[in-house]
Amino acid sequence: MMSAGSGSPSRQRSTNNGPVSDAGFVLDVRSFGRRPGTMRELHRTATEHERLGLDLIAIPANAEVELDLQLQAVSEGVLVTGTASGPTAGECSRCLEPFTDHVDIHLTELFAYPDSTTEQTTTDDEAYRMVDDLIDLEPVILDAIGLELPLQPLCTPDCAGLCPECGVRMAIAGSDHGHEILDPRWAKLASFGSDAPGTGDPAEGSTNPNHPAASASDDAESRSENLEEK
């Protein structure tokens, strides 16, 4: 019985394109001879010619991906475990700056033999298939990398993002960057409370909370509210 699976993109990729000899993601397990228990370590540097990842972050095209895998023959197929790791290039979701990073993709996948029970009782979406004793890791990595990479990547974990007032990157502007006038009403307030515009020290009131200046600002606030009502 052949399953009438609709055919996942990964399946079509491996059948339509055949073995991708130059990508290095295709593993030849012919030598396993379907002997359960046969195990092999595999360390390989593969080059992927397409971008692998999400909108904001991905392993860029033509980057080198390190494969550090263990292949184990089981009764139903070949179990592939290990990691694929490579450089990533992304755009910070807070400050929009490009940045580079690194991702480790953890793999645990069974590739079913063509005539195995697993192959016959699952759809293409449920289990990967071996084709002509070849394992194509590319669809596996494509599926797994989406889970490893952050949907909202950050250039640094504590990225301060952009100034909400002027849009400048806070990393460039510095920690003292700010806008004293955040609200037009406070602009009016400042002109009321200052005898000499431009030379007033806004810190004076705050350093002396019991100073008459504090109550003066309260008066100014009520005046400001009166103005709004007109």
- Give the residue with the Cβ less far from Zn ion, 165 or 204: 165
Least spacing, CB of residue 89 vs Zn ion, in Å: 14
Taking CA atoms, 179 is separated from 116, 167, 201, 217, in Å, by 68, 12, 15, 20
Q: Mind giving me the DSSP string for 35-100?
A: -TT-EEEEEEEEE-SS-EE-SSEEEPTT-EEEEEEEEEEETTEEEEEEEEEEEEEEE-TTT--EEE
Between the alpha carbon of residue 201 and those of residues 159, 182, 192, 195, 207, the distances in Å are 32, 17, 14, 11, 11
Q: Which of 59, 67, 92, 135 binds Zn ion (CB under 5 A)?
A: 92
Residues numbered 6-25 forming contacts with Zn ion, rule: CB under 5 A:
none
Is residue 94 a contact point for Zn ion (CB under 5 A)?
yes
Q: Is 163 in the site for Zn ion (CB under 5 A)?
A: yes
Nearer to Zn ion, 18 or 202 (CB): 202
Cβ atoms of 52 and 142 within 8 Å: the answer is yes
State yes or no: residue 40 binds Zn ion (CB under 5 A).
Answer: no
Segment contacting Zn ion by CB under 5 A, of 108-116, 132-140, 162-170, 183-191: 162-170
Is 159 a residue that touches Zn ion (CB under 5 A)? yes
Please, which residue, 52 or 92, has the CB nearer to Zn ion?
92
Residues 139-158 that bind Zn ion (CB under 5 A): 155
| 8 Å CB contact between 59 and 65 | yes
- Residues binding Zn ion (CB under 5 A): 92, 94-95, 155, 159, 163, 165-166
